């Protein structure tokens, strides 16, 4: 092999190596079933209306949900118009069930926009337990709400029904931890599966794109 041919061969191999590395990186970025996300079998039911259903299963008592919230909020603002996002509070145990009732009571009273972040901060920054009626009422009153009406909503049949429906949906998705993102009744992903909250959101984006395709 002449020096010129040897140099050409070296450059060619180097170029092929770069292409191979780029291809490997591209493949690495594609979500892998069983590693980055789980496929549901059978699929879970989704609401009528034709939009892609995206759920965050979460709990106010979960520190990972608290740290995930700013990233999730920014991501939700950029979701396409054909995606419907909603939160479902998990109720794995008695404390989580209390936080689920808190969420649905806020929703019933139209206080979600003003109280959602306040609840997270009260639990994870101010270290409030929020497991007594007086504490719940005081929190709502601190934001200008009616504490007594909130406690009534918290204990209502309607809120209990919502909690039960949320449990059934979490069971249909077969989740055992939060935060978890459910995509259109067909898949779920999470930071623990995907390797980080940012990666979970990227996986969710790709699963949303798949949900648009028939079949």
State how far the Cα of 48 lies from the Cα of 180, in Å rounded to an integer. 22
* Model confidence pLDDT, tens digit, residues 47-83: 999 999 999 999 999 999 999 999 999 999 999 999 9
Question: b or e along 30-47 (b: 16 or more beta carbons within 10 Å of the residue's beta carbon)?
Answer: ebeeeebbbebeeebebe
- Per the CB < 8 A criterion, the answer to whether 79 and 114 are in contact is no
**Mean pLDDT across the stretch 135-164?**
97
State how far the Cα of 188 lies from the Cα of 208, in Å rounded to an integer. 11
List the domain boundaries for the chain: 1-30, 38-211
- Per the CB < 8 A criterion, the answer to whether 100 and 59 are in contact is yes
* Model confidence pLDDT, tens digit, residues 144-153: 999 999 999 9
Task: Give this prediction's pTM.
Answer: 0.86
The rounded percent of the chain whose pLDDT value lies above 70 is 87
Among all chains, which residue has been given the structure tokens 């931890």?
177
- Per the CB < 8 A criterion, the answer to whether 179 and 173 are in contact is no
Domain 38-211: homologous superfamily in CATH = Glutaredoxin (3.40.30.10)
| CA angle centred on 164, ends 160 and 168, rounded to 5° | 170
Structure tokens that stand for 26 in this block: 């591209």
Q: Using DSSP bridges, classify how beta strands 52-58 and 180-183 pair: parallel, antiparallel or unpaired.
A: antiparallel
């Amino acid at each position: 092999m002449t020096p010129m041919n040897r140099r050409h061969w070296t450059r060619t191999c180097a170029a092929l190596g770069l292409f191979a590395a780029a291809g490997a990186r591209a493949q690495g970025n594609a979500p892998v079933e069983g590693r980055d996300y789980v496929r549901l079998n059978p699929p879970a039911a989704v609401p009528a209306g034709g939009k892609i259903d995206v759920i965050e299963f979460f709990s106010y008592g979960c520190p990972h949900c608290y740290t995930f919230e700013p990233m999730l909020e920014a991501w939700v603002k950029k979701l396409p118009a054909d995606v419907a996002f909603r939160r479902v509070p998990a109720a794995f145990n008695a404390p989580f069930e209390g936080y689920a009732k808190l969420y649905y009571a806020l929703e019933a009273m139209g206080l979600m926009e003003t109280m959602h972040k306040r609840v997270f901060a009260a639990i994870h920054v101010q270290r409030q337990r929020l497991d007594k009626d007086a504490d719940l009422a005081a929190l709502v009153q601190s934001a200008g709400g009616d504490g007594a009406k909130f406690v009534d909503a918290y204990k209502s049949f309607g809120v209990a029904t919502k909690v039960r429906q949320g449990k059934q949906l979490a069971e249909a998705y077969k989740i055992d931890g939060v935060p978890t993102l459910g995509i259109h009744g067909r898949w779920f992903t999470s930071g623990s599966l995907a390797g980080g909250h940012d990666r979970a959101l990227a996986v969710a984006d790709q699963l949303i794109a798949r949900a648009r395709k028939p079949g």
